[in-house]
Amino acid sequence: MPTLDINEIQRFLPHRYPFLLVDRIIEIDEERIVGIKNVTRNEPFFAGHFPDFPVMPGVLIVEAMAQTAGVLVLKNIPERESKLVLLVAIENARFRRPVVPGDTLRLEMSVLKRKASVAKMAGRATVDGQVVAEAEVMCKLADKEESPEEKREALSL
């Protein structure tokens, strides 16, 4: 199974440190992708969430899931250098247990529906085989060259 390292992921996603939340892709095919996020004590969000009990914010777990989904969406598009994948919806998000420094987050995403410019994906995040979060995300393709107003209009669903 093909894998992508952080440098290859950066060819797909515009995110950079400290907001790139996928370290490696370990599985990928047409309908499914698995990413890895190594959670370390050095993550910038741990300074305030929470200093005495560091917990990865749930919204960032969902963002890591969405970024993993974005790699899958962009991998199958020939003109991907000119596209952005924008998150337009999060549904049925559930958080089962805290993610803490030292955890390896496994991000599994599968396509539910796909159209030319929109994809809906379901996924789960696990640590040591235990589900820590589940969510469905919807992503929309936008042109990088669009103005901010055009991007806002494209996101109006």
Query: What is the distance between the alpha carbons of residues 127 and 93, in angstroms, rounded to a whole number?
Result: 17
Sheet containing strand 83-95, edge to edge, reads 24-28, 32-38, 104-114, 118-127, 130-143, 83-95
Question: Which has the closest alpha carbon to 94: 125, 64, 138?
Answer: 125
Question: Which has the closest alpha carbon to 75: 113, 27, 122?
Answer: 27
End-to-end, the C-alpha distance of the chain in Å comes to 36
Whether 15 is catalytic = no
Identify whether the C-beta of residue 69 lies closer than 8 Å to the C-beta of residue 33: yes
Structure tokens at 155: 């996101």
Identify whether the C-beta of residue 56 lies closer than 8 Å to the C-beta of residue 45: yes
Q: Which of 49, 96, 114, 124 is catalytic?
A: 49
**Residues annotated as catalytic (active site), given as ranges:** 49
